[in-house]
Structure 1
Amino acid sequence: MEYSFSSGKHELEVAYRKRLTSILKVIRFLLLQGLPFRGHDESSTSSNRGNFLELLKWYSSECPEVAAVVGMNAPGNNQMIALKIQKQLVNACAVETTNAILDDLGDRWFTLLLDEARDCSVKEQMAVVIRYVNKYGEVIERFMAVVHVTTTTAACLKEAIDSLFAKYGLSVARLRGQGYDGASNMSGEFNGLKSLIMKENPYALYVHCFAHQLQLVVVVVAQANQYVCDFMWIVGSIVNTSASSCKRADKLRQLEHDRKVKLLERGEISSGRGLNQETSLARHGDTRWGSHHSTLCRIEQMWPSVIEVIDIILQEMDSRFSETTTDLLINISCLDPRNSFSRFDAQKLVRLAHFYEDDFSWNERMLVEQELETYIDDVRSDERFEGISDLGALAKKMIETMKNRVFPLVYRMIELALLLPVATATVERVFSAMNIVKTDLRNRIGDEWMNDSLVVYIKKDVFNTVDNELILQRFQNMESRRMQLSRIR
């Protein structure tokens, strides 16, 4: 297809839009799959020019309309396949995905979830997730960004958070919770990130990740008994011995396979998904979830008294929760809808309102007890609230039945309770995704490129709702282009 002045401005623009749209579709596919774009050799004589060029080539071969505007049929100075163009389109995808999240958040309160990990190029990366309750009463946790931090001091992390908040138009004043894994630079009582944020906003209450706390408690309980210590030492020795030699690992695997076959033949065990299947051995760690839990459950039978175990667990749990956090959690538990709201206690819930004085005016704190009494009589007599088993379901049911408007103060309490994070699993999953996007073979990927790729890859459900036109218009406005792209009305 030859381009000339006689082709007309409209025809050129139509071809340009088709070309950009086709390239964007290819980029969408690669981003959603977490695949690399570039190839080792992208020259025209290469047998494999990389995922982006090869997929675009395949797409044009299957679709004549695409073939007419890309490759050899595109102007030599406007093929739109340069690495810079790819990065700009990816950035436009990430920005519009983030904007969709921010639009959903609106001016609501939110909670901050953070964690740090090193990537494969030995860079310290901080993953940032926000938690909020949307207009339907649903608890939403959204990945916002991964930020490279030069040091992991609380001051450096706080500076990175301030910069990120400024970029996205978020305010520390809207924070109503913080959730970290308990590292001293995060949760330190005096100089930790938690404390630095609470100096600006005392209502950004911190909750230590429950999963990590439980794991650390189990570790302490396990170490308190010699039987458990000996067992863990034996397991560790088996792992070290088998993992250091392929032959030993194969021998151990074969012995276990033969034993399981005999048991299956005798009908002593059953097979199926998750039943008596091969698994890998891993070294236990103090903060690796579940590494001690199953062991403790079995070794517990060796202990002279189960009461001893329970006492140690209770002592450890008490020592890991501050008095403020304990009181807060006790008060929140009174909102529990299970067993016809059996834990309801109006006096404790009134105290809950005093935890958030900025969110309940003096008059509202005076009226909240009366509203609570009316609320509990109403929901206990409403069959639509029967069988609700958790606070999240209660919030959604309040929205569905419009009782959030009838009991606005109670719903505000429910919303604040839901904002408190109980685990940092969402942040942990960010690092799992990071290991897919940034591998040993892609260890030179830049921080911005990785972040943009992760935003789209992790938030596929949001990205899939973003219209191509929004992305194209953002891309077009990034800089002056050879071709103009008029808006579709």
Structure 2
Amino acid sequence: MERYFQKKSVINSNSPSCSSTQRQESDRHRDQSSKRIHDNVEESEQLQLSRKRNQNHVELDIDLSNLPMDPGLRIFFSEYPPNVRDNVRRAYLLNGPYQPVIEFPQTKGNKDENRKFVIDWYKEFTWIEYSIEKDAAFCLYCYLFKPESRNRSQGGGDAFMATGFKNWKKKQVLQRQSSQARSEYRVRLKTSVECVRFLLKQGLAFRGHNETTNSNNRGNFLELLEFFAFLNKDIKDVVLQNAPENNKLTAHVVQKDIVNSFAVETTNVILKELGDAFFSVLIDESRDISVKEQMVVVIRFVDDKGCVIERFLGIVHVRETTALSLKAALEELFSKHGLSIGRLRGQGYDGASNMRGQFAGLKTLIMNENESAYYVHYFAHQLQLALVGVAKNHPRIALLFNLTSNALNIVGVSCKRRDLLREKHVSKVIQKIRSGDILSGQGLNQETTLKRSGDTRWGSHYGTLVSFILMHSSVIDVLEVVMENALTSEQRGETCALLDQMQSFEFIFNLHLMKDILGITSELSKALQREDQEIVDAMTLVKVAKQRLNAMRNDGWDSFFAEVSSFCVKNDIIIPNMDDPFVERGRSRRRVEVLTNQHYYRVQLFIGCIDLQNQELENRFNEVNTELLLCMACLSPRDSFVAFDKEKLIRLAQFYPRDFSSKSLMLFSNQLETYILDVRFSNAFSELRVATAGVERAFSAMNIIKNKLRNQMADNWMNDILVTYIEKDICETIDDETIMQRFQKMATRRGQL
């Protein structure tokens, strides 16, 4: 070691050459050195003790109920252990700024002017607090959230959190402090509002899987906020890392509040647009991805410009699917928005869902309370779905749709089986062309496949049944191949049972029966959904459908049975003797009423299913609402109001006794004469059409908003997003200032606008 460090010369105080003065100087240096060492050791021990206390959080016992309120007596916030800082911060926020009311001491300025703290500053600057100990002003939120300066002894930007402000003459410093905080808060809030607006318009998710700073999957909201900051330096200086810790306005609860502000303001615009006008209600039901029954409510009304408007009012989670619970949910939604069932002048439901009977009960409950709320079939809904739902009330028809669905699942489960089905069908088509059973030519015998039905307004059960009849023998061939190559006995048994059912006379009978019934109503269902469909034409189609079903019921049995028998002969399916006793599969003969095959197939199936369809059409288009629609059609401006009929319009007014008194009806006749002359000479009405347009967007939007990745969305959160997404044309017109003010009023915010 001596090679690297040179020894210092040691002065021996006892040496004769050492003078008295030198010995005294040496003693003095030795005492000072000893004192410095002692001080350093003591400071080191205190520092180690402080670090030990900070590391061992249990040792430091903090009484949150007895924190020093005077800002001049507080320790620096960073000196609290990290694990208790949130609790300390929460305790101070609950108490609010320390604002004692005392006789404030006066301080002399440079010109011997007496200055002191002004009590009115408490109201003018809500963030300010006063220290009796230091006679200085501090900022509570700076103390809790603002990063501390490295040099605590200097005032500078930390005057309101470290040394305190006491230059009472310069009130502008307080104003600047408040103005800067407000300005930065406004920038942060406005940026968050813009991010939310963009995400709502696109129907995108907000949150990510990991929202930490270094994450690559922080979610759309934070990524978009960071992108805005990257493009705009003024934003970058006050958002995200540059914002106060607990006032970044990026928390999920803040996002929800902003979305709710958009939803509330959007709904307010809709309600203002509605005003005091009467309206009708359109209701549909569906299950979301998390298997919750959701009821969508849409209102339809005529605005002050005479235009028919449809607006999405909200979506309600229905826990009990009974008529009473549906009515209670509807009343709760109406009450929330200040609406009343008494203002209803119409109601429409899809009725194809599993709540069809409950909706029928809801219709009755509402009409018992308001007789003017007439039920009218919502034309935009797929009528065929309702008719299929009614047909499934017959257990054998329900079995038919179940079997076709199972066959579609087995045959269409893989590309290999689909290709095999096409090959089998092409081979059979070629054989039929060679035998002369079918003709060949341009556009004929195109390649086809099985169509999968769907319980939506775009699905077609009719197309599925038609394709099933055309490809029945090919499907049987594929199922036989599947059964032979089945890997398990369960698969083999399931396929064998399906083959047995599909090659029975009853299956073929029901298949052709539903094909003919849905064929009659298919064109009606499509026509009702056309946006340019005239009401009179629609009612004519309804009448035609009823007549065709009645003709099929009374005179169509022989031709229908011949068609079914011909199909069975071609496909080697046994036709039972119609005079033999009918034996139902799966039921004991001792418990079944003795009847013939003729009675079962003709009365219970053929006539029974047709009667169900007729009954459903009658319920949806009964004498009252049909007359109501035909009377409304008299207002059609087509061909210079050629359909105008004064007597029918008077009859229309009579449907609403609450709105037209006897005196009003007497005046109505003369008013209608004036009306028709006026509109026939007006160019503004020459191009108008009364159409049955409808918008069914809610559940399509719900599948976008609430999907498999976002299947845990709360009911209110989903409703707010749907309102803003579906009514985006209204949402876009709401300015940022309105949203920001709504956001501020929702809760006590840390920042002020």
TM-score normalised by length of structure 1: 0.77
Number of residue pairs aligned between Structure 1 and Structure 2:
429
Q: 1:82 to 1:280 in 2, by over 3 A?
A: farther
The 5-angstrom pairing of residues 44-443 of structure 1 reads: 44-182=213-351, 183-188=355-360, 192-210=361-379, 212=381, 214-215=383-384, 239-249=408-418, 281-283=451-453, 290-292=460-462, 311-313=547-549, 316=614, 317-318=617-618, 320-388=620-688, 390-391=689-690, 426=695, 428-443=696-711
Q: 1:104 to 1:308 in 2, by over 3 A?
A: closer
Q: 1:212 to 1:289 in 2, by over 3 A?
A: farther
Partner secondary structure for residue 177 of structure 1: strand
Deviates more, 1:326-335 or 1:114-123: 326-335
The higher-RCO structure (CA 8 Å, 6+ apart) is 1
Amino acid at match of 2:657: E
Superposed CA offset, 1:174-201 (max 9, x none): 111111113544442xxx1112112221
Superposed CA offset, 1:9-57 (max 9, x none): 1111011101100111111111111111111111223222111111111
Contact 1:221–1:309 under 8 Å retained in 2: no
Amino acid at match of 2:737: E
Distance in 1 of aligned mates of 2:690 and 2:424: 48
Distance in 2 of aligned mates of 1:430 and 1:375: 38
Please report how far the alpha carbon of residue 169 of structure 1 lies from its aligned counterpart in structure 2 after TM superposition.
Answer: 0.7
Partner secondary structure for residue 697 of structure 2: helix
Q: Residue 467 of structure 1 corresponds to which residue in structure 2?
A: 735
Distance in 2 of aligned mates of 1:341 and 1:324: 24
Partner secondary structure for residue 107 of structure 1: coil
Please report how far the alpha carbon of residue 105 of structure 1 lies from its aligned counterpart in structure 2 after TM superposition.
Answer: 0.9
Please report how far the alpha carbon of residue 277 of structure 1 lies from its aligned counterpart in structure 2 after TM superposition.
Answer: 12
Amino acid at match of 1:281: K
Distance in 2 of aligned mates of 1:344 and 1:239: 51
Which of these residues, 710, 713, 721, is aligned with residue 445 of structure 1?
713
Partner secondary structure for residue 128 of structure 1: strand
Q: 1:139 to 1:290 in 2, by over 3 A?
A: farther
Distance in 2 of aligned mates of 1:253 and 1:469: 61
Partner secondary structure for residue 205 of structure 1: coil
Please report how far the alpha carbon of residue 293 of structure 1 lies from its aligned counterpart in structure 2 after TM superposition.
Answer: 7.0
Distance in 2 of aligned mates of 1:130 and 1:308: 31
Distance in 2 of aligned mates of 1:339 and 1:484: 61
| Larger Cα-atom Rg | 2
Deviates more, 1:317-326 or 1:50-59: 317-326
Contact 1:219–1:292 under 8 Å retained in 2: no
Superposed CA offset, 1:365-415 (max 9, x none): 001122222322333344554354x226xxxxxxxxxxxxxxxxxxxxxxx
Please report how far the alpha carbon of residue 256 of structure 1 lies from its aligned counterpart in structure 2 after TM superposition.
Answer: 11
Contact 1:98–1:144 under 8 Å retained in 2: yes
Amino acid at match of 2:742: R
Distance in 2 of aligned mates of 1:222 and 1:106: 42
Distance in 1 of aligned mates of 2:182 and 2:402: 70
Please report how far the alpha carbon of residue 71 of structure 1 lies from its aligned counterpart in structure 2 after TM superposition.
Answer: 1.3
Superposed CA offset, 1:190-243 (max 9, x none): xx11121122211111112335574268769999xxxxxxx9999868744542
Distance in 2 of aligned mates of 1:308 and 1:69: 69
Distance in 2 of aligned mates of 1:234 and 1:205: 39
Q: 1:57 to 1:268 in 2, by over 3 A?
A: farther
Contact 1:108–1:132 under 8 Å retained in 2: yes
Distance in 1 of aligned mates of 2:225 and 2:210: 16
Amino acid at match of 2:263: A
Contact 1:179–1:208 under 8 Å retained in 2: yes
Please report how far the alpha carbon of residue 343 of structure 1 lies from its aligned counterpart in structure 2 after TM superposition.
Answer: 2.1
Contact 1:42–1:49 under 8 Å retained in 2: yes
In the alignment, structure 1 segments of 5+ residues that lack a partner are: 224-230, 258-266, 270-275, 393-421
Please report how far the alpha carbon of residue 323 of structure 1 lies from its aligned counterpart in structure 2 after TM superposition.
Answer: 2.0
Please report how far the alpha carbon of residue 153 of structure 1 lies from its aligned counterpart in structure 2 after TM superposition.
Answer: 0.6
Superposed CA offset, 1:302-356 (max 9, x none): x9xx999773257834564222112212222222222232222211111111101
Contact 1:218–1:313 under 8 Å retained in 2: no
Amino acid at match of 1:312: R
Deviates more, 1:55-64 or 1:236-245: 236-245
Partner secondary structure for residue 113 of structure 1: strand
Please report how far the alpha carbon of residue 289 of structure 1 lies from its aligned counterpart in structure 2 after TM superposition.
Answer: 5.0
Please report how far the alpha carbon of residue 82 of structure 1 lies from its aligned counterpart in structure 2 after TM superposition.
Answer: 1.1
Please report how far the alpha carbon of residue 253 of structure 1 lies from its aligned counterpart in structure 2 after TM superposition.
Answer: 7.8
Contact 2:451–2:464 under 8 Å retained in 1: no
Contact 2:376–2:620 under 8 Å retained in 1: no
Identity of aligned residues (%): 48
What's the Cα RMSD here? 3.9
The 5-angstrom pairing of residues 10-29 of structure 1 reads: 10-29=179-198
The 5-angstrom pairing of residues 27-46 of structure 1 reads: 27-46=196-215
Amino acid at match of 2:452: A
Partner secondary structure for residue 208 of structure 1: coil
Contact 1:30–1:37 under 8 Å retained in 2: yes
Q: 1:220 to 1:450 in 2, by over 3 A?
A: closer
Partner secondary structure for residue 373 of structure 1: helix
Distance in 2 of aligned mates of 1:252 and 1:482: 67
TM-score normalised by length of structure 2: 0.51
Q: 1:65 to 1:347 in 2, by over 3 A?
A: same
Partner secondary structure for residue 391 of structure 1: coil
